[in-house]
A and B are shown apart, each in its own frame.
Chain A
Amino acid sequence: MFLQFLFISSAVLTVSCALGVLMVKNIMHSCVFLLGSLMGIAGLYATLGADFVAITQIMVYVGGVVILMLFAVMLTGGNDFVSRAQNLLGLPASMGNKWTYAIGLLVGVVFLLTNIQLIRGLTKALPVKTITNEFPSTVTQIGHLLVKDHVLAFEMSSVLLLGALVGAAIIARPRKQN
């Protein structure tokens, strides 16, 4: 019962805040709705039992990316943060026009049909698993995998982070005044 409550509240939070990101005119409010959406996703990870991934989501996305976005918005400045662009129906421009919804509907239909075909093939072969009470922590599993099977990916991720750091530092440096 508690799991259902957690799942439903996380899912409602995620979807409603995602809609809020699109429908709000003020960009700062948009960022805060994004924060809510990412917290909802962390809740969804928690209902799946992926504790490490949920907390990584909070630490990196909520504690880092959202703050970075807020800083970036403050960097652009301006008197207020309200966007006045509108589409044909008078809604904010981020809600899209008729082509957005047409293509979205098409993609949705194709996606749905593909998924139905895939799932029909899978459900025949799945045995019914019960959740055992002795649930080992995901952290030690991830640790063992990172050190044994995916060592190269682990080391390459550090090189990737170095590249990101150098690139970001170069982009954010002030240009030489000629």
Chain B
Amino acid sequence: MNQTVVSYLSQYEFYDFLLALFRSNQGVLAFTLYLLLALIIVGMCATIGGLGTYAERKISADLQARIGPNRVGPYGLLQMLADGVKMMTKEDIMPFTADKKLFYLAPLLCLTGVFATLAVLPFSSGFIMADLNVGIFYLVAISSLVGLGVFLGGYASNSKWSMLGGMRGASQIISYEIPVTISILAIVLLAGGMGFGTIVGRQGGLPHEWFMFHNPFAFIAFFVYSVGALAETNRAPFDLPEAESELVSGYHTEYTGMRFGFFALAEYIEVFVVCGVAASLFLGGYNVPGIKLDILPMQAAQFVIFMTKTLVLYYVVIWIRWTLPRLRVDQLMSVCWKYLTPIAIFNLMGCAIWMVVFNGKSIAELVLGSH
């Protein structure tokens, strides 16, 4: 059965109090709770998206031995607000040869695809908005809407830069979905289920209980997943579809103002989601090392652990962007089909054989003896 936030909250007494408040209409109460929590999550992710732009500029400045934004607010922290206001007040230009309806639709597709993935992220053991039985599968499926948004954005602009960027972007996103999905399959094998609750519940808090160190194949699968997910989010060094030196701005060349803001917001939130998924699948998710209680402050600790792991991975993603040069388009495709996909398939077979031969035990369990 699918666990949700509301079914978790229904254990506590204040849920009955709220139920009496809503005159025992469970449907409306559930809807209100979901809406409130969804607004909180969306607000948090939009803030993280904004902080992502600020963090990117500060970290890139650090890596390039300069200071970065420090005028607007203390340490330049309000720079993201200034950027947001700038985007809203820029004129909304559309090329007159563009396809109007699809021009409007493309950012909406990207945004919907990314927001719908927020519903299954495991922030803590009770605070998964919808712990679907097919959680990770749903996440991969819905994020393919972003690829469609990229293609339609590139097509609708009717500019040669955008068209090339859109076609390359769409083919990059669909190609890298394969190693990502096969790496996730290896983890589903180890966990015995697709839901995030199952996967994270099977891991522990300490590093030797994470899936990354379960067997050497899962270790390689972590890196295959990271590379593939970096490429799926069009993030450097795979950012050919939006490269500044090659295609002006690729598929979002002709987008101005708030529409461009939507593309950028969708990209930053998608990076956050991808890091969150990597943290949950490979790095133990929200499990707190050592303690295993079931009280409400535990949820806060789990949330903090999850966000810490995700933000550390986010830092690594930004770090990689400003360190490595960009890949050429044929190198990009050959990395995917000739390197990552065979490695991912090899990992999958290796994990399956390990499961049968060692009866599903991790390396730590074999060496230290299971307890």
Which A residues lie at the B interface, using CB under 8 A?
1-2, 26, 28-29, 32, 35, 51-52, 55-56, 58-59, 62-64, 66-67, 70-71, 74, 133-137, 139
**What are 14 A-B contacts defined by CB distance under 8 Å?**
A2-B27, A26-B99, A28-B155, A29-B102, A62-B141, A63-B144, A63-B174, A64-B144, A67-B147, A70-B148, A70-B151, A136-B1, A137-B134, A139-B133
Name A51's closest neighbour in chain B (CB-CB): B134
Q: Is the CB of A2 within 8 A of B31?
A: yes
Partner of B145, one of A2, A62, A71, A139: A62
- Give A139 Cβ to nearest chain B Cβ, in Å: 6
Given known contacts A52-B134, A55-B138, A134-B1, is B144 in contact with A29 (CB within 8 Å)? no
Residues of chain A lying within 8 A (CB to CB) of residue B167: 71, 74
Residues of chain B lying within 8 A (CB to CB) of residue A139: 133-134, 194
Q: Is the CB of A64 within 8 A of B174?
A: yes
Given known contacts A29-B102, A62-B145, A63-B147, is B140 in contact with A137 (CB within 8 Å)? no
Residues of chain B lying within 8 A (CB to CB) of residue A52: 134, 137
Q: How large is the interface on B (under 10, 10 to 19, 20 to 34, 35 or more residues)?
A: 20 to 34
- Give A37 Cβ to nearest chain B Cβ, in Å: 14
Q: Is the CB of B101 within 8 A of A55?
A: no
Q: Is the CB of B27 within 8 A of A35?
A: no
Residues of chain A lying within 8 A (CB to CB) of residue B144: 58-59, 62-64, 67
Name B139's closest neighbour in chain A (CB-CB): A55
Interface residue ranges of B163-184 to A (CB < 8 Å): 167, 170-171, 174, 177
Which B residues lie at the A interface, using CB under 8 A?
1, 27, 31, 99, 101-102, 105, 132-134, 137-138, 140-142, 144-145, 147-148, 151-152, 155, 167, 170-171, 174, 177, 194
Name A134's closest neighbour in chain B (CB-CB): B1
Residues of chain A lying within 8 A (CB to CB) of residue B194: 139
Q: Is the CB of B133 within 8 A of A1?
A: no
- Give B25 Cβ to nearest chain A Cβ, in Å: 10
Q: Is the CB of A32 within 8 A of B105?
A: yes
Q: Is the CB of A55 within 8 A of B174?
A: no
Given known contacts A1-B27, A29-B101, is B151 in contact with A55 (CB within 8 Å)? no
Add 19 more A-B contacts to A70-B155, A137-B1 (CB < 8 A). A2-B31, A26-B99, A32-B105, A32-B152, A52-B134, A55-B134, A55-B141, A62-B141, A62-B144, A63-B177, A67-B151, A70-B152, A70-B170, A71-B170, A71-B171, A133-B1, A135-B1, A137-B134, A139-B194
Given known contacts A64-B174, A67-B151, A137-B133, is B1 in contact with A32 (CB within 8 Å)? no
Given known contacts A59-B141, A63-B145, A66-B148, is B27 in contact with A51 (CB within 8 Å)? no
- Rounded to whole angstroms, the CA-CA distance of A139 and B155 in the bound complex is 37
- Rounded to whole angstroms, the CA-CA distance of A155 and B249 in the bound complex is 45
Partner of B142, one of A1, A58, A64: A58
- Rounded to whole angstroms, the CA-CA distance of A174 and B358 in the bound complex is 48
Name B181's closest neighbour in chain A (CB-CB): A59
Q: Is the CB of B134 within 8 A of A28?
A: no
Residues of chain B lying within 8 A (CB to CB) of residue A136: 1
In this complex, the member of B141, B145, B147 whose beta carbon has the largest number of chain A beta carbons within 10 angstroms is B141
- Give A124 Cβ to nearest chain B Cβ, in Å: 33
Name B171's closest neighbour in chain A (CB-CB): A71
Q: Is the CB of B142 within 8 A of A28?
A: no
CB-CB nearest 10 A-B residue pairs: A63-B144, A59-B141, A137-B133, A58-B141, A55-B141, A55-B138, A51-B134, A55-B137, A55-B134, A135-B1
